[in-house]
Amino acid sequence: MHIPDGFLSANTWVPAWIISAGGLGFCLKKVGTVLKDKTVPLMGVVSAFVFAAQMLNFPVIGGTSGHLLGGVLAAVLLGPYAGAISIAVILTIQCIIFQDGGLTALGANIFNMSFIGTIGGFYAYKIIKSIVAGNTGILVSAAIAAWLSVVAASSGCAIELSLSGTSPLRVALPAMAGIHALIGIGESIITCMVVSFVLKVRPDLVYNE
């Protein structure tokens, strides 16, 4: 889902950059008021964790393997704003160091994965959690939100590509959402299991407003 340079037209990537830069500024301010001088070490080390977690491949049905996107996982453990920052930091590193995603498309990539995937995913998690109570509620809502976040982020990607005239929406949207509905199952299972582990070992580390 890392859009390279050249796939988006200026009328898409320029607004996406502006929204993402502004949104990131807002998140930093929000996190700064809670963590104060703890922001830097905590966000740095935890971003390194999400980066490492994305390197670990897990088996998907049919002999293929996928890796974690980690948006909802980060949001459930760190809260929406800190989660969004760590995902944005990772996307930027992947863009600059690994050329995974383009420089002009970085704004759109951050918008899809940090804002739609992580913050959007967090609110999906929060809504479902308010319906199902207790630890089961946390696990069920983390699983559903993880699946939703992957599908929503990929739909965002398809919409941006169609706005740029790169691919028609009526084909791109079902195709992207369809593929990611399958990928999302793995994301959902692994997110649920990691959250369940943390709930057992350090329940205080699961984000609670």
Note the residues at the interface with another protein (CB under 8 A).
Answer: 2-7, 10, 24-25, 28, 32, 36-49, 51-53, 55-56, 58-59, 61, 63, 65, 68, 77, 85, 89, 92-93, 95-100, 102-104, 161, 165-168, 171-172, 175-176, 189-190, 193-194, 196-198, 201-202, 205
Q: How far is the CB of 80 from another protein (least distance, A)?
A: 17
Q: CA nearest 160: which of 28, 5, 4, 9?
A: 9
Angle at 173 between CA 178 and CA 21, to 5 degrees: 110
Indicate the residue among 130 and 145 with the shorter CB distance to another protein.
145
From CA 100, how far away is CA 107, in angstroms rounded?
Answer: 13
Q: How far is the CB of 127 from another protein (least distance, A)?
A: 24
Point out which residues pair with 66 in neighbouring strands. 58
Angle at 132 between CA 83 and CA 190, to 5 degrees: 45
Indicate the residue among 132 and 206 with the shorter CB distance to another protein.
206
Burial, 140: exposed, middle or buried (Cβ in 10 Å; 0-12, 13-18, 19+)? middle
Q: How far is the CB of 11 from another protein (least distance, A)?
A: 12
Indicate the residue among 134 and 200 with the shorter CB distance to another protein.
200
Q: How far is the CB of 151 from another protein (least distance, A)?
A: 16
Indicate the residue among 5 and 137 with the shorter CB distance to another protein.
5
Indicate the residue among 59 and 127 with the shorter CB distance to another protein.
59
33 sits in which H/E element = helix 10-35
Point out which residues pair with 65 in neighbouring strands. 59
